């Protein structure tokens, strides 16, 4: 009888183990709708032009930052300037290029490459208004390039906090064939 009482006390409805189990279950049930929402939003269809232009920029420009940001920025900017037109297709291509430009500059910034912070700010300030204009969520845009969307969405949140909104002089999305504005400041020479 003593053994059964010990078992009931250890595993019964009022036991610490059961309380922990119930708390875990409650947390799981509360998080489940958020996970389902995140999964459905990250599976949103992104136009193939955004994906294709981001992948093209990645293939052409990604490794150029090894030596300096000038080559990386020049390559990304050249791809941006090569897109002609002021229609939805051109805007989608530009968004893919600028989004990749920001992601790559963020990566180079983590390894301390000079000029990468200025490039990251500039590309961020350029792609965000265009993203808004085209009505893409951060989650759907994240699916454009392979990577961990949880980390990438956190990067976006940090960039919003650190970089804020683009200054008035460069706040417009570059949706025409005009060249992107160069950053000002000590790292401007790397742009």
Q: Do 93 and 49 meet the contact criterion of CB atoms below 8 Å apart? A: yes
62 burial level (CB within 10 Å; 0-12, 13-18, 19+): middle
pLDDT tens for residues 21-36? 454 444 444 544 444 4
Q: How confident is the model at residue 5 (pLDDT cuts 50, 70, 90)?
A: low
pLDDT in the model for residue 67 = 72
This model's pTM is above 0.75 = no
Whole-angstrom Cα distance, residue 131 to residue 65? 25
Q: Which two tokens stand for residue 54?
A: 């981001």
Whole-angstrom Cα distance, residue 84 to residue 64? 24
């Amino acid at each position: 009888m003593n053994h059964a009482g010990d078992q009931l006390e250890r595993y019964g409805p009022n036991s610490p183990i059961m309380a922990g189990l119930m708390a875990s279950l409650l947390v799981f049930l509360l998080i489940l709708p958020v996970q389902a929402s995140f999964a459905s939003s990250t599976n949103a269809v992104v136009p193939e032009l955004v994906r294709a232009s981001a992948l093209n920029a990645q293939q052409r420009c990604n490794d150029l930052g090894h030596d300096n940001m000038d080559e990386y920025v020049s390559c990304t900017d050249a791809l941006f300037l090569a897109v002609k037109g002021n229609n939805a297709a051109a805007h989608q291509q530009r968004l893919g290029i600028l989004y990749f430009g920001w992601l790559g500059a963020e990566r180079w910034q983590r390894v301390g490459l000079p000029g990468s912070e200025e490039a990251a700010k500039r590309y961020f300030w350029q792609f965000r208004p265009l993203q808004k204009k085209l009505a893409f969520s951060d989650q759907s845009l994240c699916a454009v390039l392979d990577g961990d969307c949880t980390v990438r969405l956190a990067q976006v949140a940090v960039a919003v906090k650190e970089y804020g909104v683009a200054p008035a002089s460069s706040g417009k999305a570059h949706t025409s064939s005009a060249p992107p504005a160069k950053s000002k400041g000590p790292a401007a020479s790397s742009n």
